[in-house]
């Protein structure tokens, strides 16, 4: 195991994971909201926000898929050491991380079943920028409308049409975090 795999975890796990979990849930409950999270520092190309999410949300019972440039030995070792999460193919994952184009096609991820819609994947999408501008969002957790710089719109419109099935998304850039649950309408 490389020495890098041992670094980049939480310095104060109980406090930092609680803070990160709250920020993640706040973002998911309020689509379009952008928060700052920190604490994790995984190997490149993981951002601080994505590292922190993986440390907070993944454990030995949470299969993770690494897409494209993220499927690297250093990152596999880091996740295994810090979270113990099994690394799997896209169709088995509860969480997946990668750049938008590396996560395509989205239909290879689980969207749940009518009996268990919660058994779907959550994608952590690394972006070059994350701003409260661009696509218009409506739905639960949004007073009237919100805006978020999404990588595209069509995929999120199609995802919403699957409701109550579908994927949920976290977007990360540096220390910035936003979320888009399947309940959100995108235009």
pLDDT in tens, 94-112: 999 999 999 999 999 999 9
Beta partners for residue 138, in sequence order: 185
Domain boundaries, the chain: 3-186
Question: Strands 185-186, 35-36: parallel, antiparallel or unpaired by DSSP?
Answer: unpaired
pTM, 2 dp = 0.94
Mean predicted confidence (pLDDT) in 148-160? 97
**C-beta separation of 134 from 143 below 8 A:** no
pLDDT in tens, 116-142: 999 999 999 999 999 999 999 999 999
Distance CA 96, CA 112 (A): 15
Q: What's the topology of domain 3-186?
A: Rossmann fold (3.40.50)
**How far, in Å, are 12, 38, 54, 98, 169 from residue 65 at the CA level?**
26, 22, 11, 9, 14
């Amino acid at each position: 195991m490389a020495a890098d795999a041992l670094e980049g975890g939480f310095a104060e796990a109980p406090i930092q994971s609680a803070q990160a979990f709250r920020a993640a849930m706040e973002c998911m409950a309020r689509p379009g909201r952008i928060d700052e999270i920190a604490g994790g520092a995984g190997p490149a190309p993981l951002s601080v926000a994505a590292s922190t999410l993986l440390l907070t949300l993944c454990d030995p019972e949470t299969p993770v898929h690494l897409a494209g440039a993220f499927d690297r030995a250093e990152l596999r070792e880091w996740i295994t050491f810090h979270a113990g999460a099994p690394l799997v193919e896209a169709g088995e994952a509860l969480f997946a991380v990668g750049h938008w184009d590396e996560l395509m096609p989205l239909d290879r991820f689980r969207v749940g079943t009518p009996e268990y819609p919660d058994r779907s994947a959550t994608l952590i999408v690394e972006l070059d920028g994350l701003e409260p501008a661009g696509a218009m969002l409506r739905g639960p957790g949004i007073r009237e409308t919100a805006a978020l710089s999404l990588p595209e719109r069509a995929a999120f419109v199609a995802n919403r049409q699957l409701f109550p099935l579908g994927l949920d998304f976290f977007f990360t850039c540096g220390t910035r975090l936003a979320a888009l649950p399947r309940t959100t309408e995108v235009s």
